[in-house]
Structure 1
Amino acid sequence: MKKRRTDTNRFDEGKKSMMKGVNGDKKAVKEAYDIFAELRKRDANNPLLEAYYGSTLTLLARDAAEPIEKADHAQEGLDALNRAVSNNSKNKEIRLLRAKVCLKLPESYFHCSQTAIEDLSFLLDRYKRDASYLSDEEVKEITNDLRTARKNAMKN
């Protein structure tokens, strides 16, 4: 029981560090990656952990100095996110994480705007069936992101 509580606390710490990393804190990205990598070793079949792990890899890619390192981390992160969706395709948080990452990756190299469109459309479809599925703020953000993904997809 204590291990589960500790893992939950670590997971929450990882999410907080990741959000700091999203906002540009490179040290927080590394902390988040270390936390999710550690938790992933203990719970290798957890799709949500896999999604956060993948997201932190793409943040490491963003911050990497070498182009090869950038590409490798980004692809590894995208692969982890795809595995997470494959293992739990109905999870809102996983779909949202993958969509956000796909919006940030260069379309000319990764060609994943269509994946973002699929994830965002899935979320909006669920919302149409159940208005409590997303908040008003989430609907606005997802709608804007969907517009961006469609523009990105049309450019290439």
Structure 2
Amino acid sequence: MAVQSAHMNQFEKARTLHNKGVDGDKNAVIKANEMLLKLREAEPDDALIEAYYGSTLVLLGRDAVKILDRADKAEEGLDVLNRAVSLDSNLKEIRLLRGNICLRLPESFFHSSETAIEDFTFLLDRYEENSSYLTQKQVREVLRNLSEAYQNAGKPDKAVAALQRLDKWERKKKS
């Protein structure tokens, strides 16, 4: 029990560093990656640790100087994120992480927009079943991101439909 508590404490620290890294702190990314690597070794089947570890790999790729290092880290991170989804495909936080990462990677190189569409659609489907599944801010973000993912995937009609869905949802919330 004490080991589990220590792992949770370390994970929370790593998640905080990860989030600083998302905001541009390169040193935080390195520290988060190191912490998550150790946690991953201790808890190899923890889907959330796996997802954040994968995300830090993508962030390391973002921050890499050499173009091949960028691509290799991003690919490795996507593989780890896909494993995290296979470990727990229903965890909202993992789907948000992977969807947001896939949306931001260059489509011409990574072809990850379809994965982003899959994740954002999954999240919206769960929201349709249970309106407390996503916050209002998350619903807006997911619908905007879904539209962008459709646009990136070369599906402009579906992109427009997602924006219309957002507009309809926002009008409904105001009434």
Q: TM-score range by the shorter chain?
A: over 0.9
Describe the superposition over 1:98-119 as per-residue Cα deviations: whole angstroms up to 9, x where unpaired: 0011011110000000100010
- Tell me the distance in 1 between the aligned counterparts of 2:46 and 2:93: 13
TM-score norm. by structure 1 comes to: 0.97
Letter in 1 for 2:56: T
Q: How many residues get paired?
A: 155
> Partner residue of 2:97?
97
Alignment gaps of 5+ in structure 2:
156-175
> Partner residue of 2:128?
128
Query: SS in structure 1 opposite 2:89?
Result: coil
> Partner residue of 2:34?
34
- Tell me the distance in 2 between the aligned counterparts of 1:3 and 1:66: 39
Q: How far 1:46 sits from its partner (Å)?
A: 1.0
- Tell me the distance in 2 between the aligned counterparts of 1:7 and 1:104: 30
Q: How far 1:5 sits from its partner (Å)?
A: 1.2
Farther-moved stretch of structure 1 (117-126 vs 85-94): 85-94
- Tell me the distance in 2 between the aligned counterparts of 1:87 and 1:27: 29
Query: Where does 1:1-156 land on structure 2 (aligned, <5 Å)?
Result: 1-154=1-154
TM-score norm. by structure 2 comes to: 0.87
Letter in 2 for 1:54: G
Letter in 2 for 1:62: R
- Tell me the distance in 2 between the aligned counterparts of 1:91 and 1:21: 22
Query: SS in structure 2 opposite 1:35?
Result: helix
Letter in 2 for 1:131: S
Query: SS in structure 1 opposite 2:45?
Result: coil
- Tell me the distance in 2 between the aligned counterparts of 1:22 and 1:45: 24
Letter in 2 for 1:126: R
Describe the superposition over 1:63-83 as per-residue Cα deviations: whole angstroms up to 9, x where unpaired: 000111111100000000001
- Tell me the distance in 2 between the aligned counterparts of 1:35 and 1:101: 20
- Tell me the distance in 2 between the aligned counterparts of 1:71 and 1:150: 23
Q: Which has the higher contact order (CA 8 A, sep 6+)?
A: 1
Runs (4+) off by over 6 Å = none
